[in-house]
Amino acid sequence: MTSQPPPPPQPGAQAVPTCYRHPERETYVRCQRCARPICPDCMREAAVGHQCPECVQEGNREVRQARTTFGGAVVAAPRVTWALLALNVLAYAAEVVNQDEVLQRFAMYSLGVYRGDWWRLITGAFLHSPPPSFWHILFNMWALYVIGPELERRLGSARFAALYLLSALGGSVAIYLFGTVAVGASGAIYGLFAALFVVSRKLGYDARGVLWLIGINVVLTFVVPGISWQGHLGGLVIGALVAAGFVYAPRGNRVLVQVGVAAVVLVALVLLVTTLPPYGFPPVGIRT
């Protein structure tokens, strides 16, 4: 018994193309990048025609994300600056509601830190001279409002937050070592002053105005009574160190150097507090 071979295909006949992700769907549209057939559910708008989801993802990986001058993510809105402003204002509102309780528990108090109230190193930097005094918080928040957005856009939000908090901590550690009691964001603000000077010099701007600003405020620190010179100078020094590490980090391994600088400064400040007593008080003996 013999069988006839199947008839040859008719001229011009060919298989109907189907979507590579949905084989049951016929389509005559192809990805502009890889030429695979794609159905309407798989089409992604491209500069020319459509692309498949995989080619879109691959293209996104190949596109370099925009970065700031010093390696941070581009800042559309200075959200860290606004958040810090809000935290300071909320802390001041808490002082208005219950001044004695807030200051006794959260003000920067050297002997309290020595005895284990470590949170005072940070919380004290978000408190200010209580009512009826308003100039303290008004000046600091005005400075943060003026300087913060520019620095945050130059450095990126994460680096700016690290700069602010490390400067605040630097001011508190100086108060711990050489002072007694203080409140205020001035250590962080002076750190921002120093950072603005470092950034201006790095970018080739005329930094004399910033230098005058720092000089005038340092003079006021020692002329006006009741100001903690320890907190101001501590924040100024730490802000300068951190900013220099951020803006002068070599491009090749910038992120590693920047993280390393922030980590070294943090560890150094922690070691100062954990290994040294508060010299602003009479000898306090062995830590228990």
Which residues have a catalytic role annotated?
186, 232
- My answer on whether omega of the bond before 132 falls inside 30° of 0, hence cis, is yes
* Cα 161 to Cα 93: distance, rounded to the nearest angstrom: 23
Residues 6+ apart with CB under 8 A from 114: 176, 277, 278, 281, 284, 287
* Cα 152 to Cα 57: distance, rounded to the nearest angstrom: 30
Cβ atoms of 130 and 44 within 8 Å: the answer is: no
- The amino acid sitting at 255 is V
* Cα 247 to Cα 258: distance, rounded to the nearest angstrom: 8
* Cα 108 to Cα 91: distance, rounded to the nearest angstrom: 14
State the maximum Cα–Cα separation within the chain, in Å, rounded to a whole number: 118
**CA distances to 95, 198, 227, 241 from 104, in Å:** 11, 36, 19, 32
Q: How far is CA 208 from the centre of its chain?
A: 26
Cβ atoms of 130 and 155 within 8 Å: the answer is: no
Q: Kind and range of the H or E element at 141?
A: helix 135-155
* Cα 18 to Cα 27: distance, rounded to the nearest angstrom: 5
* Cα 9 to Cα 239: distance, rounded to the nearest angstrom: 79
